[in-house]
Structure 1
Amino acid sequence: MTGITHSFDTFQPTHYDIFIDINRGTKQISGKSVIDGEAKDKQIFIQQKNMEIASVQADGNDVPFNVDNKKEVINITLPKAGETTLAVEYKAPLTDSMMGIYPSYYEVDGEKKELIGTQFETTFARQAFPSVDEPEAKAKFDLAIKFDEKPGETILANMPEVRTENGIHYFDTTVRMSTYLIAFAFGDLQSKQTTTKSGVKVGVFSTKAHEPKELDFALDIAKRSIEFYEDFYQTPYPLPHSWQLALPDFSAGAMENWGLVTYREAYLLLDPDNTALDTKQLVATVISHELAHQWFGDLVTMKWWDDLWLNESFANMMEYVAIDAIEPDWNVWELFQTTDVPAALQRDATDGVQSVHVNVEDPAEIDALFDSAIVYAKGARMLVMMRALVGDDALREGLKNYFAAHKFANAKGSDLWDAIGEAAGMDVASIMNTWLEQPGYPIVRARVVDGNLKLTQQQFFIGDGKEAGRSWKIPLNSNYDVAPKIFGNKEVDLGNYEELRKANGVPFRVNVGNNSHFIVRYDKTLLMDIMDNLDTVDSISQMAILQDLRLLAESRQMSYAAVVPLLKHFADNKSTVVNSAMYRFAYNLRKFITPNTDEEKNLKKLYNNLSAKQLTRLGWSQKADETIDDQLTRPAILNAALYAENPEALKSAHELFEANKDSLATLPADIRIFVLRNEMKNYGSEDLFNDLLDQYRKTTDPSYKSDLCVAITSTKDAKLIAKLIEKFEDADTIKPQDLRAWFSGVLNNADGEQAAWDWLRNDWKWLEDTVGGDMEFTTYITVAMSVFRTPERLQEFKAFFEPKINTPGLTREIKMDISIIESRVGLIQDEKDDVNAAIKLVAGE
């Protein structure tokens, strides 16, 4: 049996009887895991973590075993191979790491309370019960839970409860499923419930710290999402209920446990009377993402974690498909274009980035796979590209066949391509594998050479990149029919440009709709033709032009200074996506200036020039006739105007604060963050700091909590920053799940950068112990990388992180982030003077 790394290769379970006794007082669990299955050999192993194993029996008889804590396994010697019933008795601690079975802490009316929940993805079911804790090891589960029950408490699990005997809660047998999707929770809960058209019970559950009305929005979105998916997938939801549970402490955003989906409170609960539209969009897409998984990930599961994208990329695309169908007025695909697309393009342009499909074995490396910009955002963009190529009819037919062929079982990426390709009558796999298996993406250059329009492709890098001769099969989506539908060569000649231009009547463009994962570099002739005819270009394409110009400037294929004068072409645009891309570029200019200098004054003038007209048009309060675009654009305009120190904006923000200072939470949610931050930054005092921090501790409104975090971390007072950093490790004030936002806020504050960086270095061990098992742990490194831009910070970053480069799960992040900072430092040194000259010139116009 040497060389076998997967437990499933040694023992294949079919059914579990699991009994777990949980004591909140002693923070201990004890239990028994009885597993029916087939032993492929006499030497088998199953997974456990941090357990004390009391006994192992096979078919009722004690058998030899030993525990290997490093490999997280129990090695077992059986008398024979074949059908076997294992029984393992064990004890284990309740964790405080938000993994396995763990408590969430909250307060109601000043009384501290606990809610017990679970998080088993990726490899944490083994902390709750001994098992074959691998996605391929699907089995049926009978769950029995005993706990130190108090009157009025509720217990939930994947399946309905069937009976209670002697204080033990027994749940119905599950369908065949993977261990990482098992879930249960208990505590003092409230709920609202409804039923879908097909009879599925849908419920939203939370602690009683929240007002009941905060559950309404999620209940509506969850019900309509399930109804949409049953229709779109042409496959019924396979369980009797779908519970959505908000956990006060939760490491990820949400988790698709089958039938019992768990969420951060911020991603499930909201005040229907005062929540900004972009927050509603965010919560709705998170819910629809997790419910997409009930089929894609739960019903059909990847064979191994290397195909994680099969789960996440698809759910990431489907969240937008679903919300666009059930709330068409929201134009939610624009949210995809302003969040997922730029994240994917930025991350995927760094040499050393992972491909969407990655080979992986080590549990620590498995957690590091959850690179949101690649597995979620790039993967989703890859699938959006595929959807545009095959069309919805073929996609739905392919998915229906895929679910029928693999339901309650496992699949690989090739199975999906085969099903969709057959439905579409197209070799989808040969196209999509060029995107799935290769890191990075191409830049398509469009040039007029000797009168002819030519296209070339090669890999695009920001910073140093090793040319590896990669090429992609690119769905070009050109507005000229002469361009190939799929561009798979290194070069193509489309013919005489003047004739083509005259025949088509509009400027030449590719990637119309911005659905394909590449960027475009038009030569000067083609770019100026587009800029001179912007009124013929749709808003998504205008956004894509700005986005591509920013990336080209980042990669030094054109200068930042050359793009600055183009911004004014877009300043009065009423489209959210165009404003988002323009201000993303403008934000990038900040790295070239030194705070509190004439350079910054000029940049603020530029920001004012870009935003002043829009500020007058939109103002601070919603108008009866304003569009969705207006609602979503206002925050970008207010943000720019306040950075610009526009006198009207500063005055209005301060007046709004003064008028509402006794009830800040009731300020309109779409402008509240700007009012609070402006007050703290420009009129801040220790009293205000203490008051806002106290409100942060007391409020249960996740959206208001987020606004307060942004405001408090913007203080300029060194004494208050020091006081704030002392709170970083006070879980009663800042929960570990929220700490990254606070760290990022202080680090991004020029007056707090040094203190936050010192804290990270001095207290790294505490951070590792507290959130080190969390799949978002590496993002603390990413946050530091995103801020640093000087040679001194680069050296400090390297000095601190290079010794950690061989830590499992951190290697790729540290290497990439060093490369990104090096590239940024070089760019600033070379272009700083030119960029500041361009800013000064345009700001003075």
Structure 2
Amino acid sequence: MWRRSVGVLGRSGALIARSAGRQAVRSVPRVLSSYARPLSHTQLLPKAVPLRRSSQTAKKMSEKTFQRLPLNVVPKHYTVQLKPDLQAFTFTGEQTINVSVAEPTKTVVLNSADITISSAEFVSAAGNAVAEVAFQPKEETVTLTFPEDLAVGDGQIKMTFAGELNDKMKGFYRSKYATPSGEERYCAVTQFEATDARRALPCWDEPALKATFDVTLVVPEDRVALSNMPVKSESKVDGGLRSVTYETTPIMSTYLLAFIVGEYDYVEGKDADGVVVRVYTPVGKKEQGEFALDVAVKTLPFYKKYFDIPYPLPKIDLIAIADFAAGAMENWGLVTYRETALLVDPVQSSAAARQWVALVVGHELAHQWFGNLVTMEWWTHLWLNEGFASWIEYLCVDHCFPEYDIWTQFVTHDLIRALELDAMSNSHAIEVPVGHPDEIDEIFDAISYSKGSSVIRMLHSYIGDEAFRTGMHNYLTKHAYKNTFTEDLWEALGDASGKPVAKVMQTWTEKMGFPVLEVERDDQGSQVSVKMSQKHFGVDNSQSQWLVPVNACSSESPATSIASSMLEGKTGELAVPNTPAWIKLNPGAVGFYRVKYSSSMLDALLPAVRDQLLGSRDRLNLQDDLFALAQAGQSNTADALRLTEAYCNENDYTVWLSLSSNIAAISKLLAYSEHTSAMSVFVHKLLAPVMERVGWESSDGNHLTALLRSLVVGALGSHKHPATVEEARRRFQAHVSGESTLPADLRAAVYSAVLTGNDVSTFDELLALFDKTDLHEERVRIMRSLGAASSRELIDRALQFSLSDKVRSQDTVFVIGSVSSHSCLGRDVAWDFLKDNWTVLYERYQGGFLLARLISSLCSDFVTEERAAEVEKFFAENPAPAANRAIKQSVERIRRNVSWLERDGEAIANFLRS
């Protein structure tokens, strides 16, 4: 699942849009390759494979009472029929579940939430037995109690039930859309990960309790009806309905089941192996699916070749859903997306949007192998799904679009993002014990996704691509259609490489945090070495140590590693050939650690930055480490600001993205002081020359230049650079009047820049553009810009707009986050708004990750102890269990800001004055 779509927390704690925003042995035959004679569920079920449960379950996993489902009765196959009512927003269902009874029992416990069961009986060779039905709402389970013990062996549980097509964007829910004529209608869609299949049908809703599924949907005859598999048969039903039955699925977890009923157009293609690929779009917008179709058609063969395993299903559908909480969801054969994560308008979509769609498509299609074919045993091992997919999506996009220089962007979007979060005392290990469902959403964060992908990237570099691919093939082949633990992956990669993978990686996945390497050059005649010592970054008195693969490049070989070693203890030494002018550790920023250089080593590197002898990832990595060290109190922030002078010739988009994020963090630190004007002058001097180089007009259509232009206009606009704001206003008025159209790449930056003047008419013109467009990407651009206004009147209007019927529930966080991130006044007013509307917001987002994102975006940038105490007190009185970690992290960020300002505030001011 893609859950980075909402935004990412930069070093400042603000909500920042993510870019809009991985040896053949033998092949495995495609399962279900012949649908004239589909395999039965018993053929698909691995034989004599005992269910394994994580050793974590034997430990105390949670402060809350939680018990996984008993294994006395387990499912083998579901035959389910669902009939949604798109007018009453309800559905009815009936199902037969083939089960295996492992031991005599009178009770069967399975998951069920918000469902009414009208009948339940057990059918076997011994006869029928009707069950008493008792629900346990708190545990989201239902217990079926039978008059006598069920006999050991096979049987069937038959049930009829009903539920609500809810408006919570989870389970089987309704999504509102408009027809081309403007008529408001609803479709029925699903989102089951992590624990919401139980809202659509009573089931064993745990990833290890896999089964096969036969799905039938009874739907209006004029609606599109989709599920995981191709249609097997259709028939008319009285009342203007039709019954659609789908082929049997492979054995899979319940969270991967999906069904959609609504009105859609589609574009279709086939990959090189004949797999049918369709992209479903809103009616009348087929052309917006062409880009994603092209990416998907290229991606499936890429993954087939990389894993040496064919895509296991005969079709893959990608569909845009109007109301969707996550970015996308990897349902096997039917992948669901936010509109902004799938649709690309040939004219109105930006380069950032295209890149984002490519990454999300690459991420979800990777899951078809890694996650769907082989699945984690329990949510403790979530990172097996998300970390891997978040790494290989970049490998895929780099293959499809080498001009994106996407691996450099990985450093900013994932590596740095993970380092920032993992430096906190309220972080968590990659593998964290998970018990109660409330806790699952908390780990869909930058640790599972971005740290997971970063340590996979480091491991890939450590063992080499050939061994990595061999190990991945062996892992997926051995565990196909089964469930795994992290240790299974380490075993496969260790066997393939002959290296101690498990020993090394356990130090990275089983504890939180990461090391900082303090390094000093030691010249002994012609012998040069780097003396290294490691300690836990940001944590005093920690005895944690990691097995750190260390590499270095030098002035004599800037682009390749010239030395490597494994730092196994607290200290170590790295021998360097020759006597280079400079040495840099962690070339390419592949290692998950920070480096603190001695003054002489750092000074020697500055000419290589200024003359761009260092590669872009190394220039980026160098300054980001220094800013992070300053924030942590291990170096002076003024020194980090002085380092920016070495970037006077910098033209790389991703380097500037990181630099501007770090400078924005300091700007927010000073936002409540008298130094804001001086900070703006500094930003003007730093970025105005870059603006002069890239200009306002695109001459070559270069992807990275387009991203850089938007970044610089946005940064200068937010600091009210006169020439930039004036030109933005001119272009905006020409756009509004119809005289000339703003390029899509510039719209987000221009919209924010023109609002800094607090002009009511400009605010109204933007809302008029919002009403006029039916492209959701454009609406998101406008929503993200509204917070740039800094007058109380317009801030209040933006916040009220966020809860209006014009803003989808999933998008409210964009507006509130925008208000909070742009100004001190906005931050204060947004916090009051959250408190005043807490009941509404909590009811809307409770139990989901959007609530945690909202809290982080509003609370993290305060800079006083009084605010920290206020945030703590409010959430103590208004608990939000699914956001507990986000609340603690927000309070920690506030107190970190307080310490940072107290420690370096005067030095920063002196630097700006100078």
TM-score category, normalised to shorter length: over 0.9
Q: Following TM superposition, by how much is the alpha carbon of 1:21 offset from its aligned partner in structure 2, in angstroms?
A: 1.6
Q: 1:446 aligns with which of 519, 536, 544?
A: 519
Q: 1:105 aligns with which of 143, 157, 176?
A: 176
Contact 1:274 1:666 in 2 (8 A): no
Q: Can you give the 5+ residue segments of structure 1 that lack an aligned partner in the other structure? A: none
> Does residue 232 in structure 1 map to residue 300 in structure 2?
no
Q: 2:159 aligns with which of 88, 105, 108?
A: 88
The residue aligned with 1:159 is: 229
**Over residues 657-686 of structure 1, what are the superposed CA-to-partner deviations in whole Å (9 max), with x where a residue is unaligned?**
12222349941011112222222222622x
Aligned to 1:682, the other structure's residue is in SS state coil
- The structure with higher relative contact order (CA 8 Å, sep 6+) is 2
Contact 2:84 2:188 in 1 (8 A): no
The residue aligned with 2:837 is: 763
- C-alpha separation in 1, matches of 2:907 and 2:549: 37
**Over residues 285-329 of structure 1, what are the superposed CA-to-partner deviations in whole Å (9 max), with x where a residue is unaligned?**
001100000000001100111100000000000100001011112
* Larger CA deviation: 379-388 vs 101-110: 101-110
- C-alpha separation in 1, matches of 2:622 and 2:325: 36
> Does residue 71 in structure 1 map to residue 147 in structure 2?
no
Contact 2:607 2:646 in 1 (8 A): no
Where do residues 263-662 of structure 1 align in structure 2 (5 Å cutoff)?
263-371=337-445, 373-448=446-521, 453-461=530-538, 465=539, 467-479=541-553, 484-494=564-574, 503-534=578-609, 535=611, 536-594=613-671, 599-624=675-700, 627-662=702-737
Aligned to 1:477, the other structure's residue is in SS state strand
Distance 1:698 1:537, change over 3 A: same
The residue aligned with 1:11 is: 73
Q: 1:31 aligns with which of 93, 104, 123?
A: 93
> Does residue 122 in structure 1 map to residue 194 in structure 2?
yes
> Does residue 58 in structure 1 map to residue 122 in structure 2?
yes
Amino acid at match of 1:428: V
Q: Following TM superposition, by how much is the alpha carbon of 1:444 offset from its aligned partner in structure 2, in angstroms?
A: 0.4
- C-alpha separation in 1, matches of 2:582 and 2:822: 43
Distance 1:710 1:729, change over 3 A: closer
Q: 1:752 aligns with which of 826, 841, 851?
A: 826
Identity of aligned residues (%): 30
Matched positions, count: 823
- C-alpha separation in 1, matches of 2:460 and 2:314: 31
> Does residue 200 in structure 1 map to residue 269 in structure 2?
no
Q: Can you give the 5+ residue segments of structure 2 that lack an aligned partner in the other structure? A: 1-56, 59-65, 555-560
Aligned to 2:121, the other structure's residue is in SS state strand
- C-alpha separation in 2, matches of 1:512 and 1:664: 49
* Larger CA deviation: 79-88 vs 53-62: 79-88
- C-alpha separation in 1, matches of 2:541 and 2:336: 43
The residue aligned with 1:839 is: 912
Amino acid at match of 1:409: K
Contact 1:571 1:611 in 2 (8 A): no
Distance 1:663 1:486, change over 3 A: farther
**Over residues 517-558 of structure 1, what are the superposed CA-to-partner deviations in whole Å (9 max), with x where a residue is unaligned?**
000000111111111333332221111011101110110101
Q: 1:220 aligns with which of 294, 303, 308?
A: 294
Contact 1:97 1:773 in 2 (8 A): no
- C-alpha separation in 2, matches of 1:688 and 1:156: 43
Aligned to 1:485, the other structure's residue is in SS state strand
- C-alpha separation in 1, matches of 2:70 and 2:351: 46
Contact 2:467 2:497 in 1 (8 A): yes
Contact 2:379 2:434 in 1 (8 A): yes
Distance 1:146 1:240, change over 3 A: same
Aligned to 2:248, the other structure's residue is in SS state coil
The residue aligned with 2:39 is: none
Amino acid at match of 2:160: E
Q: Following TM superposition, by how much is the alpha carbon of 1:701 offset from its aligned partner in structure 2, in angstroms?
A: 1.7
* Larger CA deviation: 131-140 vs 758-767: 758-767
- C-alpha separation in 1, matches of 2:377 and 2:521: 48
- C-alpha separation in 1, matches of 2:617 and 2:822: 32
Amino acid at match of 2:814: A
Contact 1:455 1:493 in 2 (8 A): yes
Amino acid at match of 1:447: E
Contact 2:173 2:189 in 1 (8 A): yes
The residue aligned with 2:847 is: 773
Q: Following TM superposition, by how much is the alpha carbon of 1:695 offset from its aligned partner in structure 2, in angstroms?
A: 2.6
> Does residue 249 in structure 1 map to residue 295 in structure 2?
no
Q: Following TM superposition, by how much is the alpha carbon of 1:448 offset from its aligned partner in structure 2, in angstroms?
A: 4.6
**Over residues 95-125 of structure 1, what are the superposed CA-to-partner deviations in whole Å (9 max), with x where a residue is unaligned?**
1100011111122332111121100100100
Distance 1:40 1:775, change over 3 A: farther
Aligned to 2:488, the other structure's residue is in SS state helix
Q: Following TM superposition, by how much is the alpha carbon of 1:494 offset from its aligned partner in structure 2, in angstroms?
A: 4.5
Distance 1:628 1:334, change over 3 A: same
The residue aligned with 2:874 is: 800
Aligned to 2:372, the other structure's residue is in SS state coil
- C-alpha separation in 1, matches of 2:145 and 2:342: 46
Q: 1:829 aligns with which of 885, 889, 902?
A: 902
Q: Following TM superposition, by how much is the alpha carbon of 1:352 offset from its aligned partner in structure 2, in angstroms?
A: 2.6
Contact 1:657 1:664 in 2 (8 A): no
Contact 1:564 1:839 in 2 (8 A): no
- C-alpha separation in 2, matches of 1:322 and 1:249: 28
- C-alpha separation in 2, matches of 1:698 and 1:15: 49
Contact 2:675 2:909 in 1 (8 A): yes
Distance 1:133 1:448, change over 3 A: same
Amino acid at match of 1:563: A
The residue aligned with 1:706 is: 780
Contact 2:80 2:214 in 1 (8 A): yes
- C-alpha separation in 2, matches of 1:804 and 1:558: 38
**Over residues 194-237 of structure 1, what are the superposed CA-to-partner deviations in whole Å (9 max), with x where a residue is unaligned?**
111111000000221x5321111011011111111111111010
Where do residues 116-195 of structure 1 align in structure 2 (5 Å cutoff)?
116-147=188-219, 149=220, 151=222, 153-165=223-235, 166=237, 167-195=242-270
Contact 1:7 1:44 in 2 (8 A): no
- C-alpha separation in 2, matches of 1:199 and 1:629: 34
Amino acid at match of 1:603: M
Q: Following TM superposition, by how much is the alpha carbon of 1:638 offset from its aligned partner in structure 2, in angstroms?
A: 1.5
Q: Following TM superposition, by how much is the alpha carbon of 1:185 offset from its aligned partner in structure 2, in angstroms?
A: 0.4
* Larger CA deviation: 712-721 vs 210-219: 712-721
Aligned to 2:698, the other structure's residue is in SS state coil
Contact 2:725 2:754 in 1 (8 A): no
- C-alpha separation in 1, matches of 2:318 and 2:829: 39
Amino acid at match of 2:134: N
Contact 2:798 2:815 in 1 (8 A): no
* Larger CA deviation: 179-188 vs 478-487: 478-487
Aligned to 1:67, the other structure's residue is in SS state strand
**Could you say what the CA RMSD is over the residues aligned between the two structures, in angstroms?**
2.1
Q: Following TM superposition, by how much is the alpha carbon of 1:755 offset from its aligned partner in structure 2, in angstroms?
A: 2.4
Q: Following TM superposition, by how much is the alpha carbon of 1:37 offset from its aligned partner in structure 2, in angstroms?
A: 1.5
